[in-house]
Structure 1
């Protein structure tokens, strides 16, 4: 999907508004189901559970890191449910999420286990995600990094930003294209309308979240429409029979690979 931030329409709502609305409408409905076809891991998060992770992560950013609106957070992460959490947490505090961004040019960095050497270039806060099943921690904490699984549990389950997060403020820096929160929510609504996405639809997506189409399919469109996403990491290692079973078992209505 081509990005031209200057020409995009904008909504008066932010991605955080979409999550609040989804929580008020039906907190128990599934929002994200994550499969890792290399490990066999499966995790399902309801809207309420996802919101809980987002609130804890946003409180960590705001209270421990002193993140303010406009701060830039590099996300060096693969397709994963915790990637979606960090994106939503950035938008909750008003930070600019920078997927695959240059850590040296960002105020903080969040990295998976295979990108820690790259992430060490950040002079600010550094968070390491083990990306282990059930949100497990590193066996040994990585030098120079905080371990997300160790740090996040103590933070509060509800989040209130110290400063208002406005839809006209930058929310995403994707390959040097800066998009506001209002533009992201407008894109989600437009995508849902063009593709006929309805409430209750379940989208299987293997698209990485460092791409706009993957971010929309895997998080923002489900939030905007009352749907859900089945995120599949390492889907290329699964055969067609496995994919057919997953579509049936997860009640998938759309497949994006």
Structure 2
């Protein structure tokens, strides 16, 4: 059972509650190429919801994440990225979508001149720089779908985006209440509130928003989510 985490994110919570109860059939499919190796992964609704819960639990345990916490996702289109986004939203935090398609090394953490509270990245050098610059929580995520831990060394001060997440409880722990008017998503200088995630299109009327928000909308309508990316 997934408790309702916040007044400001009822649809996120509802979507994950529906996922958890949807049985063993795949509700999330991801295909991509990681380090030259084609990958395909299917996750049931229960497993997808569990990963989001684990991420939320880690964020709360490490930095007491909640409304106003800024979580930069320096990650490509990937099932792990979606887990981090939904987990952050369960806590009421703001997701800053950096969307680095090939996850190259970067000199400084993305997300603007203001240091984020959290940087979640696939780049070891970005993780190292973020720790040096004083980002409160830095997480290095392996992109291989079946990776149990970061391979090749974890920068001092960073958490392992596979092993440390997997060690968290499957069920969502206590989280703080947030308001619907709180910012849920930042992307390319635009913002969406939690209410907007399910009710507002991109400014300019193109009907587009970040793919992670679209995925949660699909889950909320009991649709399956298919992600195709380079990894």
Instruction: Place the TM-score, normalised by the shorter chain, in its bin.
Output: 0.7 to 0.9
Write the distance in 1 (CA, Å) between the matches of 2:166 and 2:9: 32
Query: Residue 41 in 1 paired to residue 51 in 2?
Result: no
Query: Residue 212 in 1 paired to residue 191 in 2?
Result: no
Higher helix share: 1
RMSD of aligned C-alpha atoms? 2.8
Shift of 1:70: 1.5
Write the distance in 1 (CA, Å) between the matches of 2:97 and 2:181: 20
Matches within 5 A, 1:132-143: 132-139=144-151, 140-143=153-156
Kept after mapping to 1: 8 A contact 2:18/2:222: no
Query: 1:58 corresponds to which residue?
Result: 56
Query: 2:11 corresponds to which residue?
Result: 14
Larger RCO of the pair (alpha carbons < 8 Å, separation 6+): 2
Kept after mapping to 1: 8 A contact 2:187/2:210: no
Write the distance in 1 (CA, Å) between the matches of 2:113 and 2:121: 10
Which 4+ runs in 1 deviate beyond 6 A?
Answer: none
Which of 152, 172, 185 lines up with 2:165 in the alignment? 152
Matches within 5 A, 1:108-127: 108-113=118-123, 115-116=126-127, 119-120=130-131, 121-127=133-139
SS at structure 2 position matched to 1:28: coil
Write the distance in 2 (CA, Å) between the matches of 1:117 and 1:12: 32
Evaluate the alpha carbon distance shift between residue 169 and residue 148 of structure 1 in structure 2; reply closer, same or farther with a 3 A threshold.
same
Query: 1:224 corresponds to which residue?
Result: 220
Query: 1:167 corresponds to which residue?
Result: 180
- The one-character-per-residue Cα deviations of 1:68-110 (angstroms, maximum 9, x if unpaired) are 2211111100111000000001100000001112375211111
Matches within 5 A, 1:21-100: 21-24=18-21, 26-37=22-33, 38-100=36-98
- The one-character-per-residue Cα deviations of 1:189-210 (angstroms, maximum 9, x if unpaired) are xxxxxx9xxxxxxxxxxxxxxx
Unaligned runs of 5+ in 1: 1-10, 189-194, 196-210, 236-257
Query: Residue 106 in 1 paired to residue 130 in 2?
Result: no
Write the distance in 1 (CA, Å) between the matches of 2:113 and 2:83: 19
Greater Cα shift, 155-164 or 110-119: 110-119
Kept after mapping to 2: 8 A contact 1:113/1:131: no
Write the distance in 1 (CA, Å) between the matches of 2:75 and 2:134: 15
Shift of 1:15: 1.9
Unaligned runs of 5+ in 2: 1-7, 99-110, 202-206
TM-score norm. by structure 1 comes to 0.70
The structure with more radius of gyration: 1
